[in-house]
Amino acid sequence: MAIGPLGRILVQFVAVAGASLGRAVLQAYRDAARQGAAAAAANSSSRSSAALTLRPRMTVEEAKRILGIGSSSSSSSSSGGPRTSSSSSSSSSSSSSSSSLNEEEILRRFERLHQNNAPAAGFSGSPYLQKRVAVAKAILLEEYKKQKAAAAAAAAAAAADKQANANAKGR
């Protein structure tokens, strides 16, 4: 057996290299497990919020574009016609017309778009577009309620200031 000395050297090399490789893999696994446990403990309270941030929320401007609210091209979108590039230029003005939100208009446009994308004879419908329209409606109604509450708070503050001024003049 001429392989004896060479085989013995090869076996010793594999044993030493295998042992050190095994220790390195075990140490890396322990480090990863330790870091994972620390990260899980740190993020245990924000786990549900982390899942929500994976999908960004639709902006108010995007919701307005979907429902065709607050843009100068609202006449073409209400007639069902395609929007042109003028809708992109009016998106900057839609933020300034945020006070133009009203609940009836939001609901009317939602109903029209939802019905247009519902299954009908010869058309299978578009659940994706219906969902986008529903999300846009929810966001705009939420924004409308925020604006309504802010307007009520501003009116109450103005009334309180007026009352305070009247009391100060009366003294």
Quick: pLDDT tens for 37-51: 887 777 665 555 555
Q: Is the same domain home to 81 and 104? A: yes
Q: Examine the domain organization and report whether 69 and 112 are in the same domain.
A: yes
Q: Are residues 96 and 46 in the same domain?
A: no
Q: Examine the domain organization and report whether 107 and 128 are in the same domain.
A: yes
**What's the one-letter identity of residue 68?**
G
DSSP for 48-70, please give it.
Answer: HHHHHHTSPPPPHHHHHHHHT-S
| Tens digits of residue pLDDT in 14-23 | 999 999 999 9
Position with higher pLDDT, 52 vs 55: 55
* Cα 57 from Cα 62, distance rounded (Å): 10
Q: Both 79 and 160 in a single domain?
A: yes
Do residues 126 and 66 make contact, with C-beta atoms less than 8 angstroms apart?
no
Q: Verify that 67 and 143 share a domain, yes or no.
A: yes
User: What's the whole-number average pLDDT of the chain?
Assistant: 78
pLDDT surpasses 60 at 109? yes
**What is the pLDDT at residue 82?**
42
Q: Is there a single domain that holds both residue 123 and residue 49?
A: no
As for how many domains the chain has, the answer is: 2
Question: Are 12 and 34 found together in one domain?
Answer: yes
**What pLDDT, on a 0 to 100 scale, did the predictor assign at position 54?**
54
Q: How confident is the model at residue 71 (pLDDT cuts 50, 70, 90)?
A: low
Which helix (H) or strand (E) element contains residue 12? helix 4-43
Q: Determine the straight-line distance between the first and last CA of the chain, rounded to whole angstroms.
A: 119
Q: What angle do CA 142, 146, 151 make, to 5 degrees?
A: 145
Structure tokens at 38: 């620390």
Residues 42 and 82 placed together within one structural domain of the fold: no
Do 157 and 92 share a structural domain?
A: yes
Provide the residue range defining the domain that includes 24: 4-53
Do 49 and 131 lie in one domain? The reply is no
In this prediction, residue 56 carries a pLDDT of 74
**pLDDT (average), residues 82-93:** 41
CA geometry: angle 104, 144, 137, nearest 5 deg: 65
User: Residues with Cβ < 8 Å from 60, sequence gap 6 or more?
Assistant: 95, 98, 139, 140, 143
3-state percent helix, strand, coil for the chain, nearest multiple of 5:
75, 0, 25
Same domain, residue pair 138 and 74: yes
